[in-house]
Structure 1
Amino acid sequence: MRRLVLSVFLFLFSFAAMAADDTAALAERRDFEERYKRMVAELEDMKDAYRALQKRTSDLASEVARLRDENLQHTQAQTKYATREDLRKLVEKMQEIDSKRESDRKLVLEQLEKLANTTANSFAALESRPQRRQQEEEKKPVPPPVDPNQEYYTYVVEPGNTLSDIVNAYNEDFKKNGKKRITVQQVLQANPGLKPERIFAGKKILIPVPGPQ
């Protein structure tokens, strides 16, 4: 009897343990299934959100492309308008420049004509001045010699002559003829008032003739 009771007790205890184990396992399985369902639902929500984000991104990209095209067209239109306006201003500026250039050209031509007339008159005056001076000098009589006993040559100054050149030329001639040299000072003494820096073409000066060497 004891053995039977003990056996029944052991069986009931084992059954109770198994039943407890099955209940715990079932509860755990149900909890796992609930969590799995929640994860699947959340994953589906994430997929929907991702698809919505992709669509929104695509829509934004299309909007940006449209706005870029509109902005480009607007910019090109503004550029074309600015180019036409700049071209109009450029044409007006060129016309203004041409007008001023024509006025300046006329003014320059007038000034050049005046300058040419003035220059021609100045050159004519300069050319005639030596001639008049030469004629005046030629009309002047030869100054009387300081020493009446001295022999003199009368020399008419030519254009470009200097007193030193004249004296050197005469000294070469005197040397060939066996005569002494003369100095510039002797020529100045023979021509009272004569200044070496003011010898003009046509002026007559006395050249003293030296004695033999």
Structure 2
Amino acid sequence: MKTFMLWTLLFSGVLAFEGRAQDAAALADRDAAEERYKKLNSTVESLIEENASLRKKVQQLSDRLGTMRDEHAKSASDSSVQDDLKRLAEKIQEVDRKREGDMKQVASELERIAKLVAGEPLPSKGHVKNGTSPKTPGDSDRTGTPKSIPTKGYTYKVQQGDYLGTIISAYNAEFKKNGMKAITQQQVLDANPGLNPNKMGPGREIFIPMPEPK
């Protein structure tokens, strides 16, 4: 009888050790995936901000080119004005090419993030019991609790002159290129409790939820 009890205790200890090892491995995988996601998200945000800056620069150069053309029309015989126009036009083309290249890089990073988050649901950081599947963000429990705020998405820092509608439109344009559904303003408001679209100061961070693939 004592021998049977000894083997039972030993077997239970082995199962408990294996369970803790599996939990530790699952949490380590989750932390690694979250770290990769944060780095990719930061890269995409930087590229979007840089692209907005380049767009503004192209507009400024285009305005300057228009002014110089008006001046050139008044003094068509001035060869120096022609040279300035040519150099300015080349500069605009160069900046616009860089902007297009950055947009392609943004699309590529979004695609990588989409592939990352489209995999198997990550285990919860809470205790994971053997033989049970952890709840993923957005799941409702058996008592009918409403879905929680989404946790997969991007953080955008508001710039001077930004509007919520234009921010959402810019993200939807990239989502469309990567075969993903568009998000609505209501979804963004739901993901940002207390956000007032009419009072978004520069530096305010807005969470843009990740849409589902089409």
Q: TM class by shorter-chain length?
A: 0.3 to 0.5
Report which of the two has the higher share of helix: 1
Compute the TM-score of the two structures, normalised by the length of structure 1.
Answer: 0.35
Compute the TM-score of the two structures, normalised by the length of structure 2.
Answer: 0.34
